[in-house]
Amino acid sequence: MNSMKDRQEGYEKKFAMDEETQFRAMARRNKLLGLWAAEKLGRTGADADAYAAEVVRADFEEAGDNDVFRKVRADFDAAGVAQSDLQIRGIMEELMVTAVEQIKNN
């Protein structure tokens, strides 16, 4: 009976660790996205870092990526930055791969 309980606890720990890793990767991706977008918006240094933090915070509005996408899209539209929705989403996917690799290597 203990082996079943141990197995269940092992699965629960793995699930919790996977969820934490996913959360960290999403936050990292959003920061990288914010830095990329800041560059497109002509922001540098502390201003770029502050913008990246805004993008990270935007992810807490709702589940999924749409809140982050909408923020970047709206900021690009307001500043006249020419990036299509497909380009932004593509960068988001690329940066997620980068973020996962960075999390695994830390």
pLDDT score at 81: 97
Distances (CA, A) of 3 to 14, 15, 16, 65, 76: 16, 18, 20, 39, 55
Number of domains in the chain: 1
CATH of residue 21's domain is 1.10.790.20
Which residues, 6 or more positions from 40, have their beta carbon under 8 angstroms from its beta carbon? Answer: 76, 81, 83
Q: pLDDT tier at 2 (50, 70, 90 boundaries)?
A: low
CB-count burial class (<10 Å; 0-12, 13-18, 19+) for 65:
middle
pTM of the model: 0.83
Q: pLDDT tier at 77 (50, 70, 90 boundaries)?
A: very high
In tens, the pLDDT along 4-17 reads: 666 666 555 555 55
Range of the domain at 85: 2-105
Percent of the chain with pLDDT over 70: 84
